[in-house]
């Protein structure tokens, strides 16, 4: 949500800023702009819509200068327009901002009374006016930004330049992400690492309340009061090519195909088959701590919430601890029953989702221990956690989450085995069998990719549907929810995920030939067809009896389900708790090919932001 990039160094920076913004497109935006400081002072160029609109404007006259800030805006206050696009400038000060200023109406009114005129409907513009007023008192830029921030209530990641201070960026962070990149003879700031990955892998993640002055020579960190802070840098292991499409038409397609690798990276080095146990670097769980847990509370949003529903099943089955899963946006305002015997698990690809972070804080403030399952190293949720279990999915650029989901499931499975071993609900032999199964999963995921042509044909056949229902039972129910979310967010087809047993309690009324139904119907395990399988066969019959058209996802070798379906996609079989990692893949590919066939913007669907850093 909103992307910030800033540069100070020896190079002309306008194009470099646009390149950085392109790497942040995945965050979602509806306008873009940049401000460059050069010999002729401050130049600001902005445009509503995609970056290509900004580039068209820049082509008319590229602003020259070696210090600059850029921004992609996802509208909150004020519609998408040229005027509301960032940077906002006033009297030689330019500002880009991600977040929400809660007292902006009040501030606008008092500034208005003092004679200030505003040229946008945004809350951000206030910053430029406040900072300018401070500078009028004879303060320098860092002092003036501090002064302005003292008046502001709300969330922000902020980058500021002033024509009185060429060669300086002033940045600050409160609740919205900001990372400083250290180059040679130049330095950077950005909302996320991919924006600067082509230039440096040495970064410093800013912490809440951090303030920094960045010049080409170095970066000085202080708090808002001006007290110096030491902020160590870290070298990240993501490479620039990890954030490229590598020949795929879309990032989403590339990321779907990266899942075997991402799963291997998430599992590798964390489990010992001989010992039937798991070793989670960064998670300091021991027998004493785990024995006293009375419950596990998971908080997450969107796809991460779907992964958490499967995580609950894994933990309750293998470790026999009660698990509650809440949508983070609901949890934080419901007076939850949490105490020091609760382990709160926050699940987030980005590690920056505002509701998940807020809920995690809420649970921890009530005494819970906090464990984060995150993909982005050093992200806010990871930093606040007592224990961190990183998924090693690599950068996920497509707005629709794919490899983050499957690696979260792998992380949950490892956690469940570890908890089971610590609580004694799993013997070493049982642990061993589970670990053998997860080690096999990346290879099975590769095998599913071989069915892509079949899945594409099914997708084209049903791509004109207006509505689609996804049904699953047991471990396949969260997959049905996830399949529906994926389809609706990238193809704009209305889709619902349902527990198949619930169909008779309502959705069956919708079924006719215009409402295709995707049924997740693998056998329960390699050994037995199982109760979920038998029951879902019945659900398929119910759909057909009402003229419904069935797309079935079934186990390889099964002959019953394909006979009942108009399109049938086979899957290799594994441990039932791991089956969602396999069965979600055809739903991802199906959604991808439907959306691509319909010609939607697959990687940046309308109205969506990759990382939702505001409530």
Binding site for ligand F6R (CB under 6 A): 301-304, 348-350, 353, 356, 400-401, 485, 489, 611-612
What are φ and ψ of residue 253, in 5° steps?
-65, -45
Given the complex with ligand F6R, which of 70 and 358 has the nearer CB atom?
358
Given the complex with ligand F6R, which of 157 and 565 has the nearer CB atom?
157
Residue nearest to ligand F6R (CB): 302
Cβ count near 335 (within 10 Å): 9
Minimum CB separation of residue 301 from ligand F6R in Å reads 4
Minimum CB separation of residue 300 from ligand F6R in Å reads 7
Here the tokens at position 374 are 């995150």
Here the tokens at position 494 are 């209305």
Minimum CB separation of residue 250 from ligand F6R in Å reads 14
Minimum CB separation of residue 514 from ligand F6R in Å reads 26
Dihedral sign from CA coordinates of 595, 600, 604, 610: negative
- 50/329 Cα distance (integer angstroms): 30
- 18/325 Cα distance (integer angstroms): 40
Given the complex with ligand F6R, which of 349 and 491 has the nearer CB atom?
349
C-alpha distances in Å from residue 133, one per residue of 42, 124, 138, 238: 18, 15, 9, 42
Environment class of 261 (CB within 10 Å of its CB; exposed 0-12, middle 13-18, buried 19+): middle
Given the complex with ligand F6R, which of 67 and 401 has the nearer CB atom?
401
Minimum CB separation of residue 303 from ligand F6R in Å reads 3
- 68/36 Cα distance (integer angstroms): 4
| Short-list 305, 295, 301, CA closest to 339 | 295
C-alpha distances in Å from residue 316, one per residue of 276, 312, 319, 418, 420: 18, 6, 6, 12, 9
- 462/566 Cα distance (integer angstroms): 10
Could you say which DSSP state residue 210 is in? -
Minimum CB separation of residue 383 from ligand F6R in Å reads 15
Given the complex with ligand F6R, which of 314 and 426 has the nearer CB atom?
314
Given the complex with ligand F6R, which of 43 and 356 has the nearer CB atom?
356
Active site residues: 2, 610
| Short-list 119, 20, 123, 116, CA closest to 72 | 20
């Amino acid at each position: 949500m909103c992307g910030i990039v800033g540069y100070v160094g020896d190079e002309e920076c306008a194009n470099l800023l646009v390149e950085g913004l392109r790497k942040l497109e995945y965050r979602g935006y509806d306008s873009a702009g940049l401000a460059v400081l050069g010999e002729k002072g401050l130049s600001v160029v902005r445009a509503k819509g995609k970056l290509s609109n900004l580039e068209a404007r820049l082509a008319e006259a590229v602003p020259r200068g070696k210090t600059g800030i850029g921004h992609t805006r996802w509208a909150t206050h004020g519609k998408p327009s040229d005027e509301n696009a960032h940077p906002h400038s006033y009297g030689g000060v330019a500002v880009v901002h991600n977040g929400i200023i809660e007292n902006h109406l009040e501030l606008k009114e008092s500034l208005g009374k003092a004679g200030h005129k505003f040229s946008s409907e945004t809350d951000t513009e206030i910053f430029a006016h406040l900072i300018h007023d401070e500078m009028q008192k004879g303060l320098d830029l860092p002092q003036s930004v501090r002064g302005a921030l003292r008046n502001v209530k709300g969330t922000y990641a902020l980058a500021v330049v002033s024509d009185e201070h060429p060669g300086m960026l002033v940045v600050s962070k409160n609740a919205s992400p900001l990372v400083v990149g250290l180059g040679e003879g130049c330095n950077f700031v950005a909302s996320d690492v991919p924006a600067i990955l082509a230039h440096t892998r040495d970064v410093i993640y800013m912490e809440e309340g951090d303030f920094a002055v960045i010049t080409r020579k170095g970066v000085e960190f202080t708090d808002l009061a001006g007290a110096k802070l030491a902020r160590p840098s870290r070298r990240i292991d993501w490479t620039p090519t990890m954030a490229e499409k590598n020949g795929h038409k879309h990032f989403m397609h590339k990321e779907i195909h990266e899942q075997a690798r991402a799963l291997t990276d998430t599992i590798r080095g964390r489990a010992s088959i001989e010992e039937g146990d798991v070793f989670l670097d960064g998670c300091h769980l021991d027998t004493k701590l785990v024995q006293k847990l009375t419950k596990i509370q998971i908080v997450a949003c969107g796809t991460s919430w779907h992964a958490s529903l499967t995580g609950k099943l894994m933990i309750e089955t293998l470790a026999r601890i009660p698990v509650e899963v809440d949508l983070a946006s609901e949890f934080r305002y419901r007076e939850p029953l949490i105490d020091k015997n609760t382990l709160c698990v926050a699940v987030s690809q980005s590690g920056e989702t505002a509701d998940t972070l807020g809920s995690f804080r809420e649970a921890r403030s009530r005494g819970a221990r906090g464990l984060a399952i995150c993909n982005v190293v050093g992200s806010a949720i990871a930093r606040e956690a007592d224990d961190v279990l990183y998924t090693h999915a690599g950068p996920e650029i497509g707005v629709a989450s794919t490899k983050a989901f499957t690696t979260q499931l792998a992380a949950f499975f490892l956690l469940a085995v570890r908890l089971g071993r610590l609580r004694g609900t799993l013997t070493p032999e049982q642990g061993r069998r589970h670990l053998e199964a997860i080690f096999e999963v990346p290879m099975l995921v590769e095998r599913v990719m071989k069915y892509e042509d079949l899945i594409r044909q099914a997708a084209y056949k049903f791509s004109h549907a207006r509505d689609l229902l996804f049904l699953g039972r047991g471990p396949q129910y969260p997959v049905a929810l996830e399949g529906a979310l994926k389809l609706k967010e990238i193809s704009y087809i209305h889709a619902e995920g349902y527990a198949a047993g619930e169909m008779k309690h309502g959705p069956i009324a919708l079924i006719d030939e215009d409402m295709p139904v995707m049924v997740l119907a693998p056998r329960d395990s390699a050994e037995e067809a199982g109760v979920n399988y038998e029951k879902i066969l019945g659900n398929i019959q119910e759909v057909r009896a009402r003229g419904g058209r069935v797309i079935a996802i079934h186990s390889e070798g099964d002959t019953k389900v394909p006979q009942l379906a108009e399109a049938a996609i086979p899957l290799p079989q594994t441990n039932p708790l791991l089956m969602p990692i396999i069965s979600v893949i055809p739903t991802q590919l199906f959604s991808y090919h439907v959306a691509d066939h319909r010609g939607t913007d697959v990687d940046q669907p309308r109205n969506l932001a990759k990382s939702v850093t505001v409530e």
